[in-house]
Each structure stands twice: as structure tokens, then as C-alpha cells.
Amino acid sequence: MIECAVWWATPLPADPEFLALLTSVEHGRFDAYRQEIDRRRFLTGRVLAKTIAGQRLGLEAGAVEFDATCDGCGKPHGAPRVPGAALALSISHSGDRIGVAFTEGAPVGLDVETANRTVEDSLIEYALNDTERESLAALSAEARSAAFFTFWTRKEALLKATGRGLRLPLQSITLSPAGEPARLLGSGEAALSPERTRMADLDPGEGYRAAVAVLTPDDIKVTEHTWQLP
């Protein structure tokens, strides 16, 4: 059994005590965001991830350093990892939800999205294959949007777990219908196989959809927690 712990938080203020936990590279990324809310989401993701990672590793949050080098381009915007530690994590944020998922080393991907908006047909065509689109055909516009975001967060979680992101075509992945438990049914990519992939839908709160994916042949036990300042 693989345990996967997901922690949820809301955006922190950009106070000096939190900014002090960022490395110089992370400060560069923080400063590059134009919107204040985007800076706060990035900051919260790093503070939350370092706090929980530190607790799991027996370290102070300030002593936790991530390597976020992208495997594709070498820039520091890839999935964060703690060098030398048997710990895998994934950070995601949307709206007022920031989440971090942890496992003891099994590759993990987390995605959360605001889901209280209408979805354009062009986005459905882009993200879903023929089999998945058929499952939406008889739904009302509202139900179709809700189902789409279930598909979308599941697929994004899978892509994050592989570390390859959108370099994997979304339509190459076939998932269980939105009304059924999350499962990978088929994949055109060697990086993903139903036998070695486990998934779960999450509960980030009203107006949001979220999912987590773990690359393992073992069953997973997912727990969700709300993080608040002491």
C-alpha cells in the first residue's frame, strides 16, 4: 500500500517570514509573476511544501531546498524534488486553493482547477479523445463542464506524475468516465500504463475539481489535510 498525503492551503500574504524561506532562484520566480495573487500562490506552494517536507524529513522548513530543474529545458520550473531524499511531491494551485501531494518516493502528480466556469467546445476537442467525448454528449452544459474538469484534472495529474507535462498528448490518454472512480484505461505512451498507475479524485472544496495520480502497481491510500498557520 502506497500512502499519498495531500495538503490544502489558501494564499499566504507575502510577508518577510515566508519570503525568507525562498532560495534566490525561487525569489526570481516569485518576482517574475506580474499579478500579486500569482506571486502569493507560488509563495504558498513553496512554504507549504517545505514545511510538510521538513516535518517528514526531520528538518526545519528553512533547511529544505528543492531542485526544480526541468528535464526538458534545464530551467528551474520543473517539478520540485528534494535531492537525496526518498520523498516525491507535486504542487498545484488554482483560485484560492494551493495543494501539495507527497509520497515516500513513488512519482506523484496533483492538479486542482477552478471548475465554476463554462468550457468551450474547442478545449474539449483539444483535451479529450473520441471515447471520452462520447461520455459527455448527452449531458447538459453545466454537467458537461463539471465532467470536463474531472477529466482535465485527472489528465493533468497523470502528466505531472510522469514529469513530462504537455509533451504527452492529452488525447493519447483514455480515462474512466467522470462519474466513475478515476482510472487510467489506456495510453499511447510508454510512460503510462494502467497496470502501473493509480489515481483518485479529491475534495478541494466547492467550485473546484482535483485529482492525484501515483505511478505504482500497488494500491494507494490517499488522505487530505487542511494546513493552517500555527
User: In this predicted model, what pLDDT tens digit does every residue of 91-128 receive, in sequence order?
Assistant: 999 999 999 999 998 999 999 999 888 888 899 999 99
The confidence score (pLDDT) of residue 38 equals 96
Cell of 120: 468551450
Structural domains of the chain, count = 1
Q: Is residue 103 within 8 Å of 161, Cβ to Cβ?
A: no
The confidence score (pLDDT) of residue 104 equals 94
The confidence score (pLDDT) of residue 96 equals 96
The confidence score (pLDDT) of residue 165 equals 65
Kindly report the CATH number assigned to the domain that includes residue 42: 3.90.470.20
The list of the chain residues with pLDDT below 50 reads none
Give residue 196's domain range.
Answer: 2-226
The reported pTM is 0.94
